[in-house]
Structure 1
Amino acid sequence: MALGIQLEKEGISVSVVAKTVPELLLFFRNEEAPRLRLPFSKDRRLGEVYTLTVSFRELRAAGFRGAALKSAEYQFEADGRRFADPYGKSFSGHDSFGKALKENSVKRSPLFLSDFDWEEEAAPVIPARERVIYRLHVRGFTMAKNSGVVQRGTFDGIVEKLPYLKELGVTTLELLPAEEFEELPFGSARVNYWGYGETFHFAPKASYCRKRRRDPAGELRALVKALHAAGMELVMEFYFDGKQTVSYVLEVLRYYRRFYHLDGARLSGQFPLGDILRDPYLKGFLLFAEERPAESGANFYCCDRAFQQDMRKFLKGDEGMVRALLGYSRRMPGEASRVNYLAHTNGFTLADLVSYERKHNEENGENNMDGGSETDSWNCGVEGKTKRRTVLACRAQQRRNAFALLFLSQGTPLFLAGDEFGNSQGGNNNAYCQDNAVSWLDWRQAKQEAENLAFVRGLIAFRKAHPALGRQTPPLFLDTDAVGLPDVSYHGEQPWQAQTEPFRRQIGILYNGHYAKLKNGEADSSLFCIYNMHWEAHTFSLPGAGKGKAWHLAVRTYGESAHCLTPGEEERLEDQETFLLPARSIVVLLAKEVPTEGKTKRSKKRQGDTRSNGR
């Protein structure tokens, strides 16, 4: 028996859970007093579920006809207390974000949702290895005046930004909770900006919609439709506090898949993961969670924090982290089923990760006691804002290093909205209550950080173009086809010598393109990824690029420009034997065919910038 409102041929059926006999209250929109009260009957009770059928004739007799019927709203009352429908598909009455609730204020739901024409909409088919996830807050993404959109802070605002997102190269948007939650419950002094807490899961958040003709269900469907037309996916985060039944959780996920054509769900809090994974209605539905079950399908992605913790330490030059880096070049427990990230909602943004060593959460009003203290961050020599050019250059390079670590590792990359252009929260690593410029993206940065933004776009495109960086099977470290190189190999400063002692902060990883096929069935190019997180430069002797091939510089994180070269414009190394990698830098070398009449030059000139990026 379905709970909530069900449309039938001759009227509506209403089911609600209550300990005593409830009443259905029907309202004209914008009127305070109910126009009609209809009591439920004990005769139509099963357990604590009461059911009531209301005919359209009864509704018309009470004045609910035409436009008044389409805009009619309802709530329940039992023992003199009014309450909203936990299964309400939309809500009105609290349409302004952050507006304090009145005591005993109760949300109301419309009886009917608006019609929607999906037309020829179809979900895109995105290969697992090409998936790039972009995590954003619906309101914070476009709320700033400099966002350049008309409908700021809304689902429609995201639609307005689709050209930007498409050009960036992300394939999948992951929304922080965007269901109807109480952001400022009665008596609360701090806004629940993120949305973790008591939630009406079946309803998209009304305050994330345009002010005029507000239609949460229609606007979320329009967002999904626009994303699918652009070849992109939508994943929404659902927070469950453990009070919900298994059937409720399953019904929520099924409903969003069926009614909103949602592509997946990020699960947080307490939820029955095993039941969700076994549900036949959710087969093929993308599922993301921090915990990892013993068994899961190709549609499940584990979002643990190990990558974040390990790569943050490697990024700032901690000892003993080379082995961890190598682990992420082969760690694939399932089909592309691990989500990697260096920055997440509860922690520093990427820009703050390289600008602050201590949290600065004073504005949260908790004496800086909230938020994690173990930041695994390095400020490049100055805490917080600075005008020192050497520090700013170091921070920009460290951000490029972070993105390189993310996109050169095996697994599915995820990054926070704004990290691509250096969005900062001023060192606040727990901005759960900051509905202001602290959490809103500052889109001026996108213009000021044009070079680094171009680097991220290029790096995303580079990853998609090279299947070696998104393997679907674990490497064997063998040359099973006898082509001269194993599928994956590790190299220290000398070829074929993996130097992984704790004091090492530099290593090379060679991916043999023969074992990573392109879409047309041809072999990928071989890639040599060289990492140096030491504060001193290191010279690497290069393994051979292969018969008739030479190493070309494709990606670099040092220098002031041209960090990710356009395909076909990669720079051929003058010295094919050694490469001097500057301090705190990463490069990717690409093996490309050379003209047969040409000969590889042998030169004592070393590539790279010998300037040290001191600690």
Structure 2
Amino acid sequence: MTTASIAPSATTVLGARVRDGGVSFALWAPRASRVELVLVAEDRTQANRDLARGDDGVWTGHVAGIGAGQRYGYRVHGEWDPEQGARFNPARLLLDPYARAITGGVDYNGPILDHAPGSPEVPDRTDSLLAVPLSVVVADTPPPEPIAAPVPRDRTSVYELHVGGYTRLHPLVPEHLRGTFAGLGYPAVTEHLRSLGVTSVELLPVQHFVSEPFLVGRGLTNYWGYNTLGFFAPHAAYCSVGTQGEQVTEFKEMVTALHRAGIEVILDVVYNHTGEGGHTGPTLAYRGIDHRGYYRLTDDQIDDYDVTGCGNSLDTSNPGVLRLVLDSLRYWVTELGVDGFRFDLATTLIRDQRHHVDHDHPLLAAIAEDPVLSGTKIIAEPWDVGPYGYQLGAFGEGWSEWNDAFRNTVRDFWRGHTHGVRELATRLTGSADLFEESGRDPSASINFITAHDGFTLRDLVSYDGKHNEANGEHNADGADDNRSWNCGHEGETDDPGVNALRHRQARNLMATLLLAAGTPMITAGDELGRTQQGNNNAYCQDSPLSWVHWDTADDWADLGALTRELLALRADSPLFQATRFRHSEPILDARGRPSGRKNLAWFGGGPEELTEVEWGDGGRRTLGLYLADDTPERDHDEAYLIWFHAGADPVEVELPAGPWAKSYTVQAHTGETGELPDEQVDAGRRLVLPGRVVVLLRVG
């Protein structure tokens, strides 16, 4: 009998629930021959109770006289047959996959492998009780306050942050709250987010995670959190007051605080793999419950079929595993109040039983049809490391996607490594080539220039190469294709000319991100000039190297002010809230006749629109983007001309006249004070664009 043929019934409630004067337990383990519930006391003594098996492979039992705060685990019995994907070993105390709270970490020197060291085919029968984290019973409590006004997709701006590192050094957050859920919900922090103008925080993983053994061996930890162990449990180390369920309460309080500030909460979730690694790694939950059931295996049924690069891949083609993912998502929305999800390595989640990418996968259909999930923001990282894993643009209606094509094009443009401006124009207008055919609008494109993975914005303009020596891998880890430019000096310098250029380039990159059609994503601290000293893979650096340093805000006030100004513009102007792709449609006058203007036009410095020859000029470094309102219910009185000039030298452009405009006024720019005129400029006049600049002109 295969696990794929048995799934929990639709009415089965899995996990631990406080009810009827005690707690009911339910674990899906269809290939097990016996399951013991282990109740663990404060002194770590254990009381074992056998559970009863149902026809759907779910083992259940009710224990009277216990309640919230009870610690527990499971011992799952069955055949030890690694060649059949069966690694049952009741000496391993296992976490409940549905545990709503988990006590803490792992003793990596303890008996956490299911096999004898160096012999994965031989079981180790040493009890793991004292070396592993425990599941905790959590009672139902009211969910957080919902956000008063959900943010439409076309008005969304995302701020990607790390719960631990964001407030660790915040001077206004009480020391005992720094680096916690409570710290992120502290008034000084929510006020910064509100005043910055972002609408949504995207939290790096907060589902309970552990570190990889090889990192612990180096004295490091998994800082980012992309090594999930419990898909229902808020990460225990982010709680300021305890790990016996207090983390659930504190998470809810954080969500309420952010919602009261008008900020949505989006979670970066890692359902593509777990923290158990490959079959030679620790057995803490899923492998011990059913290795073949939870994970994708190679044809020999021994090794994990790894399309994540993390040792294992969760098998969502198995209905029981798919149920786990969907139940987890619903729980975070209905009980913990979150507003959406970003799926790490999302392609893994839509692979079928043969490990092929399947765009008719049941996961996609279930999310689209689910009354809870279909109303949330759903974002894909549209790739994994397996065959045909790169799926940018393919996730379809209802999904937004991280757009690395935007990142690469914009980085290349500002460092002078593009062939002309044709692709830049496509990225600036929402990447219709990727998203329009599937019926989506520009908001489907999550535009970003930096993210947690890679250089910060400051480092992008300060380093040509990575400097990851602190990670202990001889600088061999992390990406080599950074598309960065150090502005003439590698790393920090006192040279005022180099530093001025770096500020200018950082402003150019930020302005390009915030003026482009699509959903912008800012990496936390970029507006403050955060640096990781050239480390582009700081996943294992829970240290000042990764934390946000709030004392850099004054030195980078120019970047912070520009970020606020342009986020406010996006919030106020319908032109920057694109609900459809523009294709240079003509704007009609009051009588319904063509006015001579278009809702989108491109200029290169002359009075007329760019010609095909000019589009093909590989050396072009100047592009003018004209945007005009053509919404029928409005008066068509809002229009902008935005110049993107990446050349090092100034260039003179003629401001389009005739039907395009009567006058132009500089509303924002990335240059220095006095480089551009403050007064209104008549259409048809010439304007000198200083070298390396973005200029936003309001059309009069």
Q: TM-score, normalised by structure 1?
A: 0.86
Shift of 1:445: 0.8
Query: 1:584 maps to which residue?
Result: 692
> Could you tell which deviates more after superposition, 486-495 or 121-130?
121-130
Query: 1:550 maps to which residue?
Result: 663
Which of 292, 296, 319 is matched with 2:418 structurally? Answer: 319
Which of 361, 379, 397 is matched with 1:288 structurally? Answer: 379
1:409 matched to 2:516 = yes
Which of 321, 326, 329 is matched with 1:253 structurally? Answer: 329
CA distance in 2, matches of 1:426, 1:154: 24
Letter of the 1:508 counterpart = G
- CA gap 1:14/1:555 in 2 versus in 1, 3 angstroms: same
- CA gap 1:418/1:115 in 2 versus in 1, 3 angstroms: same
**What SS does structure 1 have at the residue aligned with 2:232?**
strand
Is the Cα contact below 8 Å between 2:407 and 2:450 reproduced in 1? yes
- CA gap 1:293/1:387 in 2 versus in 1, 3 angstroms: closer
Q: Percent identity among equivalent residues?
A: 30
**What SS does structure 2 have at the residue aligned with 1:180?**
coil
- CA gap 1:581/1:547 in 2 versus in 1, 3 angstroms: closer
Query: 2:364 maps to which residue?
Result: 277
Query: 2:123 maps to which residue?
Result: none
Gaps of 5+ in 2: 1-11, 77-89, 112-127, 274-312, 316-320, 351-358, 383-391, 589-593
Letter of the 2:96 counterpart = D
- CA gap 1:15/1:360 in 2 versus in 1, 3 angstroms: same
Gaps of 5+ in 1: 593-615
- CA gap 1:448/1:108 in 2 versus in 1, 3 angstroms: same
Shift of 1:433: 0.7
Shift of 1:516: 4.9
Which of 588, 595, 608 is matched with 1:483 structurally? Answer: 595
Query: 2:36 maps to which residue?
Result: 23
Aligned ranges for residues 22-61 of structure 1 at < 5 Å? 22-28=35-41, 30-34=42-46, 36-41=47-52, 44-46=53-55, 48-54=57-63, 56=64, 59=65
Shift of 1:576: 5.6
CA distance in 1, matches of 2:646, 2:169: 36
> Could you tell which deviates more after superposition, 149-158 or 120-129?
120-129
Which of 502, 509, 531 is matched with 1:424 structurally? Answer: 531
- CA gap 1:266/1:561 in 2 versus in 1, 3 angstroms: farther
Is the Cα contact below 8 Å between 2:101 and 2:137 reproduced in 1? no
Query: 1:89 maps to which residue?
Result: 100
Query: 2:672 maps to which residue?
Result: 559
> Could you tell which deviates more after superposition, 530-539 or 217-226?
217-226
**What SS does structure 1 have at the residue aligned with 2:466?**
coil
- CA gap 1:147/1:276 in 2 versus in 1, 3 angstroms: farther
Q: Deviations over 1:353-372 (max 9, x none)?
A: 00000110111111111111
Aligned ranges for residues 174-323 of structure 1 at < 5 Å? 174-183=202-211, 185=213, 188-189=217-218, 190-211=220-241, 215-239=246-270, 240-241=272-273, 242-244=313-315, 245-269=321-345, 270-272=348-350, 274-279=361-366, 280-281=369-370, 282-291=373-382, 292=392, 294=394, 296-297=396-397, 299-323=398-422
CA distance in 1, matches of 2:54, 2:240: 40
- CA gap 1:495/1:364 in 2 versus in 1, 3 angstroms: same
CA distance in 2, matches of 1:228, 1:562: 41
Q: Deviations over 1:322-351 (max 9, x none)?
A: 111111233342122110000112211110
Q: Count how many residue pairs are aligned between Structure 1 and Structure 2.
A: 564
Aligned ranges for residues 64-143 of structure 1 at < 5 Å? 64=66, 69-78=67-76, 79-94=90-105, 102-103=110-111, 104=128, 105-113=131-139, 115-116=141-142, 118=144, 121-122=146-147, 124-143=149-168
Is the Cα contact below 8 Å between 1:529 and 1:589 reproduced in 2? yes
CA distance in 2, matches of 1:413, 1:21: 51
> Could you tell which deviates more after superposition, 78-87 or 1-10?
1-10
Q: Deviations over 1:441-478 (max 9, x none)?
A: 11101232222211110011112222222321121313
The alignment's C-alpha RMSD in Å is 2.5
Shift of 1:559: 0.2
CA distance in 1, matches of 2:48, 2:583: 70
- CA gap 1:251/1:12 in 2 versus in 1, 3 angstroms: same
CA distance in 2, matches of 1:165, 1:109: 34
Letter of the 1:510 counterpart = Y
- CA gap 1:546/1:554 in 2 versus in 1, 3 angstroms: farther
Query: 2:295 maps to which residue?
Result: none
**What SS does structure 2 have at the residue aligned with 1:271?**
helix
Query: 2:179 maps to which residue?
Result: 153
Shift of 1:109: 2.2
> Could you tell which deviates more after superposition, 248-257 or 462-471?
462-471
Shift of 1:561: 8.3
Q: Deviations over 1:391-450 (max 9, x none)?
A: 000000000000111011111000100001110100001111111011001110123222
Letter of the 1:200 counterpart = G
Query: 1:595 maps to which residue?
Result: none
**What SS does structure 1 have at the residue aligned with 2:259?**
helix
Is the Cα contact below 8 Å between 2:649 and 2:691 reproduced in 1? yes
Is the Cα contact below 8 Å between 1:181 and 1:195 reproduced in 2? yes
1:7 matched to 2:7 = no
CA distance in 1, matches of 2:579, 2:44: 58
CA distance in 1, matches of 2:395, 2:69: 46
- CA gap 1:548/1:322 in 2 versus in 1, 3 angstroms: closer
Which of 493, 499, 511 is matched with 2:605 structurally? Answer: 493
Query: 2:169 maps to which residue?
Result: 144
Is the Cα contact below 8 Å between 2:143 and 2:337 reproduced in 1? no
Is the Cα contact below 8 Å between 1:141 and 1:440 reproduced in 2? yes
Is the Cα contact below 8 Å between 1:147 and 1:443 reproduced in 2? no
Q: Deviations over 1:23-58 (max 9, x none)?
A: 212234x32112x322224xx34364321122x3xx
- CA gap 1:363/1:82 in 2 versus in 1, 3 angstroms: same
CA distance in 1, matches of 2:56, 2:661: 77
Query: 1:603 maps to which residue?
Result: none
- CA gap 1:163/1:489 in 2 versus in 1, 3 angstroms: same
CA distance in 2, matches of 1:343, 1:271: 24
Is the Cα contact below 8 Å between 2:207 and 2:235 reproduced in 1? yes
**What SS does structure 1 have at the residue aligned with 2:165?**
helix
Query: 1:606 maps to which residue?
Result: none
Letter of the 2:240 counterpart = R
Letter of the 1:12 counterpart = V
